[in-house]
Structure 1
Amino acid sequence: MSFSSLILDTETHRLNGNPIEIAYAPIQLDQRGLTVNESLIYDEYFALDPDTEIQLSSMAIHHILPQDLIGKPNFREFRLPQDTIYLIGHNIDYDIQAIARCGQDVRNIKPICTLALARYVWPNLDSHSLSTLSYVISDNLEQTRQQLKNAHNAKTDILLTANLLDKIIQHYQITDIEQLYQQSQQARLPQFMPFGKYKGTPLTQVPIDYVQWLLRQNDIDPYLRQALEQSF
């Protein structure tokens, strides 16, 4: 199986920190559907620099302890397989930023965000966390509960993401990875103003002078910029 398309998850030493666990699974997507080869799952702990400690608030989420990292390679040694093009994950930007801190070149990576896709498929949910969505798509709540007891373990999270991805693919009737990428890119375009005096207003109803002012700002989110450009 090719490693060009991976479901990826990281656990970090603090919010927006360095990765201390990285897991990925290669996938294949074609007219037969989604295939995940669990025998090829990569899951590894990584050590931090000597002067860096795991933040307790993060430890309380992923339960990775300092002794788990003893003898492990430094996080800067991590690299993706050379043929990787697509990275898939729930809020995948967070994970891409984490592996970039390892020194991994991510400039040509095509991100596929299951969080953005799920918000389009199930727009009325009060939460789009991976745990919530796992219950939403579950055919066996007890089995799902057992899986979720290991949530925020990177390997568990990629398997949960794979289950979610399969439902999304079926919903959109997607048959190839580039089509999935394009659908994800479309899903990431906001439909409503996310901040400011017009927060919650459909982008098509935001006054044109405010839109033009926003588009002159250098630090605007690229997906918001694209959505605003398409709104008039």
Structure 2
Amino acid sequence: MNAIIADTETNTMNGYPIEIAYANCAFDQGKLVIDQENAFDGFFSCPDPISLGAMAVHHILPSEIENKPLYSTFKLPEGITHIIGHNIDYDIRALQKCQQTIQVKGVCTLALSRMVWPELESHNLSAMYYHVMDDLVTAKRHLRGAHNAKADIYFTGVLLLAILEKLAIKDMNSLWLISEQARIPNIITFGKHRGTAIKELPSDYVAWLLKQPEVDPYLRKALENI
């Protein structure tokens, strides 16, 4: 298997990964097989403290990582070409703190969820898990473990299978290509034009944004398209 569903929990926003979980997955005769039973879940120490905001989200205590291996000891399995996750860029950036030379294609279930179900008011992982589950009581019980990395890769896997069924995707390259398409935004999400369709942005604002060095690459594609 050369793809994984992955999730990280960090010591602060965009900080060091202190919990990393992943499950191998691959398409077999057009069906995605996820090896959840052998999923990896590890805790890691880091040089900075855990912020209160991060602790309130993932509930990882300083004592739980105190004697764990340093985050930089983590390495991805050999041969991984695709990493799948909800807002996957965040997790890839966290993993790059461990292993600077990660060369993978990211598949974002957040972007895919927004494309497949644009009418939903929320596309965070918990909301999407409720949406794709028929049994809401069971979903509620499962979600009590949300923001634990191992639990989140399970939720992402369930969501991913629903997306694949909806889009009739049967191979990894097609999944990556449609994820790339889904990640190109239609609406600006920040600044004085927040909420405006990108195609309706003033031309001088588009020109200004394109000159900014840190513009998200997918936003840049959207801007260049107009």
Shift in CA distance, 101/139, structure 1 to aligned 2, threshold 3 Å: same
Asked if 1:213 corresponds to 2:213, the answer is no
Q: Which of these residues, 136, 153, 169, is aligned with residue 141 of structure 1?
A: 136
2:13 partner SS: coil
Map of 2:26 onto structure 1: 28
Is the CA contact (8 Å cut-off) linking 1:5 and 1:86 kept in structure 2?
A: yes
Give the Cα separation in 2 of the matches to 1:57 and 1:193: 27
| Residues 1-232 of structure 1: pairs in structure 2 closer than 5 A | 2=1, 4-49=2-47, 52-106=48-102, 108-231=103-226
Structure 1 stretches of 5 or more lacking a match?
none
Counterpart AA for 2:85: G
> Displacement of 1:197 after TM fit?
4.0
What TM-score do you get using the length of structure 2 for normalisation?
0.94
% of aligned pairs identical?
Answer: 46
For the aligned residue pairs, the C-alpha RMSD in angstroms reads 1.5
User: What CA deviation, in whole Å up to 9, does each residue of 1:148-180 have, x standing for no partner?
Assistant: 010111100000000000011111110111111
1:47 partner SS: coil
> Displacement of 1:41 after TM fit?
0.7
> Displacement of 1:220 after TM fit?
1.8
Is the CA contact (8 Å cut-off) linking 1:79 and 1:104 kept in structure 2?
A: no
Instruction: Give the total of aligned pairs.
Output: 226
Give the Cα separation in 2 of the matches to 1:187 and 1:181: 10
Is the CA contact (8 Å cut-off) linking 2:30 and 2:171 kept in structure 1?
A: no
User: What CA deviation, in whole Å up to 9, does each residue of 1:7-32 have, x standing for no partner?
Assistant: 00011111111111100001112444
Give the Cα separation in 2 of the matches to 1:56 and 1:194: 27
Structure 2 stretches of 5 or more lacking a match?
none
1:101 partner SS: helix
Is the CA contact (8 Å cut-off) linking 1:78 and 1:104 kept in structure 2?
A: no
> Displacement of 1:33 after TM fit?
1.7
1:136 partner SS: helix
Give the Cα separation in 1 of the matches to 2:49 and 2:212: 37
